Structure 1
Amino acid sequence: MIREAKENDWDDIWPIFKEVVRLGNTYAFDPDINKQNAFELWMSLPRKTYVYVQGNEVLGTYYLKTNQAGPGAHVCNCGYMVSENARGKGIARQMCEHSQLQAISLGYRAMQFNFVVSSNTNAITLWHKLGFKSVGTLPNAFNHPSLGFIDAFIMYKALE
């Protein structure tokens, strides 16, 4: 089940966030970010945050926010995280599909991923399957812990 996150969900989201960010291979967040700063990024700044729950366990989370202000406010941005022990089970796909429906209901006309690390091939393959196009490349924009400087992609999908 996917539902909107509540503030008290943060204690269940934080281990997923910490696990993903500390690896340093998909998000351009400080790997040593503390719990409060992570809360601000994931729970306070976005317009909405959601959790994927199975039983009583949070297995994934995503945020949805306006990508730009003013004349660009019709395009949203999302970020997704799945617990390591729950990967490969279709949770990211379900969250991305859910986020598109939520975005449409909130009046967005498009979704843009600003910084998809080129080595994150599972995500890139999934986003392409879900209709996203790679519309730009940021050369050597990400300093991967084992691969060094690698590209990041901008991905985009018009919502209907």
Structure 2
Amino acid sequence: MKNTFMVLVLSILFVSCKQEIKPADIAKLNGYWEIEKVVFDKGEEKAYGMNENFDYFQIKGNKGTRTKVMAQLNGTFLTTDTFEDVSVRFSDKGTFLDYKTDYAKWSEELISISDGKFVVKNDQNKEYHYKKAGPVNLMKDGEETK
């Protein structure tokens, strides 16, 4: 009986701690993001130090794109014509980012989002923790980059 009660309390606590993501929150995805860490389904973590590659999200409403970009020493980002179409889907089970290319389709659940961080979970229960990225300028002795 005690175990059942404890499981019930922990379940309620877990469900109540999940962030409710609203349509207005989706605009926070716009910009450059880098992976901070990956949490695997058994709880192990892989931390990422300095990243060369970033994800650039450009979403308007519930549709947009995600492009892989590479930071340059002068504060700009190098990009290719390769991108993924992104659709945001709200359901009673959560908020999902549905990706589509000419070759594949997949979804990730958007777990949480703020101005500086967001977390998604894929179908293999891997959580990707992103942090907002700004330009890196190593060439102009401290001048600001736009």
TM more than 0.5: no
Which structure's CA Rg is the greater one? 2
TM-score class normalised by the smaller sequence:
under 0.3
TM-score, with normalisation over the residues of structure 1?
0.25
Q: TM-score, normalised by structure 2?
A: 0.27
Which structure would you say has the larger RCO, counting Cα contacts within 8 Å and 6 or more residues apart? 2
